[in-house]
Amino acid sequence: MENFIVSARKYRPATFASVVGQSHITTTLKNAILNDHLAQAFLFCGPRGVGKTTCARILAKTINCHHITSEGEACGECESCVAFQNNASFNIHELDAASNNSVEDIRNLVEQVRYPPQNGKYKIYIIDEVHMLSNAAFNAFLKTLEEPPRYAIFILATTEKHKIIPTILSRCQIYDFNRIQISDIANHLASIAEKEGIKAEPQALHLIAQKADGGLRDALSMFDLIVTFSADNTITYQKTIENLHILDYDYYFRITDCLWQNDLSQTLLIFDEILKKGFDGHLFVIGLAEHWRNLLVSKDTQTIVLLQTADEIKKRYAEQAKNLPLSWLISAMNVLQQVDIQYKNSKNPKLLVEIALMKIAYLQKAIELSQIVQNQNFADDKKKVPTP
């Protein structure tokens, strides 16, 4: 049987151009390479799995390439590039500071820095999770970082920039990596699915992208998980919600319809069904609030761009949003927001949500009633004879 290679490894970008969603960084790096304006110490900051190590490796490969392209990319064919691609280059050293954070580990690294590269121009040292280095290790490293030999380049990476001491920060050029946009992740997954001959429903890929919360590595792991469970090489919406234990959008659409139509009993039954399926009540409240936020942005042709979901679902949002007045949506969201705040301290959170749903189910009646009262008062005022 063919060995299964996880997608995150198989599809690690080999060029700056194939890095998703970090063009502010890749463009700057390419320009620095083309203008021969490289810093000697970089700090790559940002959430997990967004391309920090990937960019560090591409940078390492590119600056040692013998035929850098006019776009600032490595040629991928020269001796140095081939060595990098086969993990056989002596010019790249990676240290995971999460597990090698002692003074000894850093001393070994500093010792290596003294030897110039035998082939190629630069030796690159990538120190991942650099915030995990012990204080003593940091101090042992500072001197080297301050006066590195000309051929040495350090790329420090961290998910927790605030833990990096100012003396290190001030010596590095700092690059902040973004969380990757849902649509960019979904498109990337779609292109991988195509290469792998996997049929994937766009809605399913959007769902994975949403759940990944901006991290491409996490998105790829979820993608692999669903493929593994799928006997027929397909990724459907249904399989995705089951595997990732996500509440089906359909519940939010249905409960919103019931609430708007004052159908309290159906609303409570749906909520009960959701809890019985093992979903958390608080997550349901947050999910419903998000659903209404999506309805709100769908009401306006300008804000609809803020709706990051598959086209099919977009149509459904637009359809539901059409029937719901803005005033109702805003009042309903206010009620829900109170539940969100009170949920954690409530002794009976289920009842808290039920009461909120009851209030919302009668919101329209309350709005109508207050309008009737207002109109009545207005009519009464008009009838009043002004006092002389």
Ligand X SMILES: Nc1ncnc2c1ncn2[C@@H]1O[C@H](COP(=O)(O)OP(=O)(O)OP(=O)(O)O)[C@@H](O)[C@H]1O
> In whole angstroms, how close is the CB of 159 to ligand X at the nearest point?
5
Tokens linked to 71: 């776009």
Choose, by CB under 5 A, the member of 8, 38, 75, 190 that binds Zn ion: 75
Please say which residue, 81 or 310, places its beta carbon nearer to Zn ion. Answer: 81
Is residue 24 close enough to count as binding ligand X by CB under 6 A? no
Is residue 48 close enough to count as binding ligand X by CB under 6 A? yes
- Residue count at the site for ligand X (CB under 6 A)? 23
Is residue 110 close enough to count as binding Zn ion by CB under 5 A? no
User: Count of alpha carbons within 13 Å of 145, Cβ hemisphere only?
Assistant: 24
Tokens linked to 48: 């997990």
Q: Tell me the window of 66-74, 119-127, 179-187, 368-376 that interacts with Zn ion (CB under 5 A).
A: 66-74
**Binding-site partner at residue 78 among ligand X, Zn ion, none, CB < 5 to 8 Å by type:** Zn ion
Task: Identify the three-state secondary structure at position 325.
Answer: coil
Instruction: Give the distance, in angstroms, between the CA of residue 87 and the centroid of all CA atoms in the same chain.
Output: 29
Report H helices in the chain: 7-10, 23-34, 52-64, 79-85, 103-113, 135-146, 166-169, 182-196, 202-212, 216-229, 237-243, 249-260, 264-276, 281-298, 311-323, 326-342, 349-361, 363-383
**Binding-site partner at residue 54 among Zn ion, ligand X, none, CB < 5 to 8 Å by type:** ligand X
Separation of alpha carbons 133 and 156, rounded Å: 11
Site for ligand X in 124-183 (CB under 6 A): 128, 157, 159, 180
Q: Tell me the window of 75-83, 116-124, 140-148, 241-249 that interacts with Zn ion (CB under 5 A).
A: 75-83
- Cα angle, residue 57 at apex, residues 53 and 61 outer, rounded to 5°: 170
For the chain, the distance separating the N- and C-terminal CA atoms, rounded to the nearest angstrom, is 99
Q: Tell me the window of 15-23, 164-172, 255-263, 319-327 that interacts with ligand X (CB under 6 A).
A: 15-23
- Residue count at the site for Zn ion (CB under 5 A)? 5
Interface residue list for Zn ion (CB under 5 A):
65, 74-75, 78, 81
Interface residue list for ligand X (CB under 6 A):
8-9, 11-13, 19-22, 48-54, 128, 157, 159, 180, 216-217, 220
